[in-house]
Amino acid sequence: MPAKILNGTAIGAEIRNEVAAEVKTLAAKGWRPGLAVVLAGHNPASEIYVRSKVKACEELGIFSLKLTPPESVTTQELLHTIAELNVREDVDGILVQLPLPSQVDSKAVLLAVSPDKDVDGFHPVNVGRLSTQRPGLFPCTPSGVIEILQRSQIPIAGKHAVVLGRSDIVGKPMAMLLLNRDATVTVCHSKTPNIKEVTRQADILVAAIGRPGFVTRDMVKPGATVIDVGTSRITDRGEFNRLFAGNAKREQQFAEKGSTVAGDVHPEVEQVAGALTPVPGGVGPLTIAMLMANTLRACKMRRG
């Protein structure tokens, strides 16, 4: 029997509705959550992301502020911008869109964001809060994965969760969030030997390595829940055939656009998994929903 498909679009919409309702309640008390987005230079992918974040703010009643310093911006200028945003009363969340121009010290800029306004959850203070189970702001994508599992009634406590990937943005916080919910967690990466043997033990397998179709059916325990965090654009015909041969809908899309989006999980995994997030329409829609939820949370935490 094919896997149950976990609909991230529907779960993301549910979270957005809950945030919008709370924003309305806060507005009645004279508070309006505010999000500032800093977009330096002209990265087309970043511009699309930022547009969708600003649009989400508008839809949910959150105040948004978009700052667009030029490509030539210096580290010092950006640090000055962050310092101003840190003290602004109408700004609860600050998001620095990565990547920053090459001459900018990204680490210094991210570190300058006040931990209480760090809606990306990247600041070492928030990393510390996550690992010691204190209230804080935690990274949006892994937080979204937890929402998918909980809202789909998939038990976490006592289960063996395997996380593929150890990035600071997804892999590490993902492992910590699962650990904090009483899963037994194994983290795999490029230096892990016998990776297949490890992934086959997983009740919950989270793939976040950015390698299209890396997780094949022989890597998955029958009935496991598989969460696909990866998104790669496929433009090569050979790669397309490896993943989507015989998929009429994908064929049409590839013929029209010359590309399609694939996750880290091979489509054949649907035949063995118990539950699976699709790409697109799985984890992606949760990332912006959780950013909105973090902005609301930052507002509530700041105002007690």
Residue by residue, DSSP assigns 193-211 as TTHHHHHTT-SEEEE-S--
Give the length of the chain.
304
Q: What is the rounded CA–CA span in Å between residue 146 and residue 143?
A: 5
Distances in Å between the alpha carbon of 29 and those of 3, 17, 90, 252?
45, 19, 14, 51
3-class DSSP state for residue 281? coil
Any idea what the Cα angle at residue 58 is, between residues 6 and 108, rounded to 5°? 85
Measured CA to CA, the distance from residue 187 to residue 171 in angstroms comes to 8
Sheet of 184-188: strands edge to edge? 4-5, 275-276, 225-228, 204-207, 160-164, 184-188
Residue pointed to by tokens 């984890």: 283
* 197 CB burial (10 A radius; 0-12, 13-18, 19+): exposed
Q: Which residues are designated catalytic?
A: 53, 97, 120
Q: Are 290 and 147 in contact (CB under 8 A)?
A: yes
List the structure tokens of 241: 């055939």
Per-position b or e across 283-295, b if 16+ CB within 10 A of its CB: bbbbbbbbbbbbb
